[in-house]
A and B are shown apart, each in its own frame.
Chain A
Amino acid sequence: MNGFAALAPLLFLVGGAILVLLLGTRRNGGTNSVQAAVSIAAIAAAGFSAARLWGRAVRAFGGQLRFDEAALFMTFLFLLAAAMAVLLGMRYLVRHAMPRGEYYGLLLLAACGLVIMTATINLLIVFLGLEVFSVSAYALSGLNRRDDRSAEAAAKYFLIGSFASAFVIFGLALLFGTRGSLDVHQLALPETGGSSALALTGLALVVSGLAFKIALVPFHMYQPDVYEGAPTPVAAFFAAAPKAAGFLVLLRILVPHFQTGIRNEAIIEFLSAVAVATMILGNFAALRQRNLKRILAYSSIAHAGYMLIAVISGDPAGLLFYLANYLFMGVGAFAAVIALGGPGREILDLDEFAGVGRRYPWIGGIFTVLLLSMAGFPPTGGFLAKFYVFSTAVRAGHLGLAIVGVLTSLVSVYYYLRIVRIMFMKEPERELDVDTENPAVYLVLFLCLYAVLQLGLFPGNIITLIRQATASL
């Protein structure tokens, strides 16, 4: 029965998804809160069963599905992101007349795919999880069928995502052909003979495919369009969860390489170039945007660049801490966008936010704290995360990367604080019609505020958890 214990988190998620989908087909439309409650219950049950697996290294399916502590830590992040996305969606779906059962169901399935992706060391299972997530994600981003931009986002995401999947599967074929296994520990065995170049090509293709999902720079171009077009609660989920999964898989692939030192230089040089390009392009492109969702999209690209520094300097703890922080900053920022939305219409243009902070001081204040955290100001978690990443990079000898990181963070302060300035210091041209009857969104906002401050001021508990998680890698 050991195997079923390992399956329990996935079973709860899938069971909840099916139940919610079937509930969504009932004719009386008033079941929104019931569906949300069922989704939250499924997520809570999955979280509880995942918590029971902590420290037991449980495996299923002959070791193919293995919940080590790193996978469990990520599972908690995904479940938190999914739960917050459910809460964010409750009012938003009604406001925009979107299908509800499908939203909650697909969200749970997407979370399930991400859990599969992280809870394995076999790259083929990673691919399986990636596809479970991706197929749900394509449908989620096109869920607002009346909106042309939502359809555009879905089409773009689908096409680019299919390319990424093809990259991964081709890379896997090359790796399997040269190494005879897709186990990450087998991939880093010492090279013999002439298959080395082929294996490296395979590795590069797999990493490129993951870079699509994380949105690192040469592969980032779909991200702003998808964030802009997709329904905002979906964008909130995308901002944090798939990036976290992609980074953990990247870490699992690269850590054995860093330990054995084979092809180390080539990999580090390649990743350093990507990290520098990601930080510079993400931050400078965000300067020119007027649409709030696009700013947040470019900012999430930039943050992926900082997180990549943690991967390069071989610092799993710093990466996980950054990911945990970014989960709350990213979801919280999108929650603020939803909280400031009007009935039937979202407010996205920067100029329209003039004076909002003074009319709605709580929303504006929390949004400000989250933006300061993203920029890396001291009392918040964002500062500590960046501090850990950059200081480890310096200690690992990547001084140049740390300098680029700090400088681009300074650039990012400008566009984060510009939002704050417009919210609080600019006179509004006309009154905004904001829908304030939105308690679930306020809950998410306060949760994010609490988490960002907790992680910034008293990070001790979570760092203990992260230490245990990274020890299992």
Chain B
Amino acid sequence: MTLALVFLIFGLLGAVMVSMNALLGPKKTNPVKEQPFECGSPPLQKGIPGFVIKFPLVVFLFVLFDIEVAFLFPWALIFREMKGPAFLILLAYAAVLAAGFVYAWRKGAFRWD
């Protein structure tokens, strides 16, 4: 019984919210806004255009640095106990990351053209 009531209340609430938005909200539309969202590429196109070969390199670097940042979370957990040494260790870690970043930069990995 209570379950039915809960469904009724929240169902009504949801319906009100959706319809209120349609009734009261401002309606300013344009063709771009009406299109389905497709991660930045046009939703309809003829064939698949070649994608830039630089893209995998950028993705690769992103994944690399992204994963390395994930190691900061366990570090943050033990920082409370270790304090000074933990900070030094992080600095060393960041220095290695920075060296990798400088290397990729100097090698022109971020140059798009």
| Residues of A in contact with B (beta carbons under 8 Å apart) | 14, 18, 21-22, 25-26
Contacts and interface: CB of A to CB of B under 8 A. Distances in A.
5 contacts: A21-B99, A22-B99, A22-B106, A25-B103, A25-B107
A443 B21 CA distance: 82
A224 B29 CA distance: 67
B102 interface: yes
B91 interface: no
A132 to B, nearest CB: 13
A18 B106 contact: no
Interface residues of B, number: 6
B107 A18 contact: no
Interface of B: 96, 99, 102-103, 106-107
A109 to B, nearest CB: 12
Report the 3 A-B pairs with minimum CB-CB distance, sorted nearest first.
A25-B106, A18-B99, A21-B103
Contacts of A14: 96
A13 to B, nearest CB: 13
Nearest to B99: A18
Contacts of B96: 14, 18
Contacts of A18: 96, 99
Nearest to A14: B96
A26 B105 CA distance: 11
Contacts of B106: 22, 25-26
A21 B96 CA distance: 12
Nearest to A17: B99
A26 B107 CA distance: 9
A21 B102 CA distance: 10
Contacts of B107: 25
A22 B106 CA distance: 8
A18 B102 CA distance: 11
A56 B69 CA distance: 36
A21 B103 CA distance: 7
Contacts of A22: 99, 102-103, 106
A21 B107 CA distance: 10
Given A14-B96, A22-B103, 12 more contacts: A18-B96, A18-B99, A21-B99, A21-B103, A22-B99, A22-B102, A22-B106, A25-B102, A25-B103, A25-B106, A25-B107, A26-B106
B85 to A, nearest CB: 11
B4 to A, nearest CB: 48
Nearest to B103: A21
B71 to A, nearest CB: 14
A18 B96 CA distance: 8
Nearest to A105: B103
A18 B99 CA distance: 7
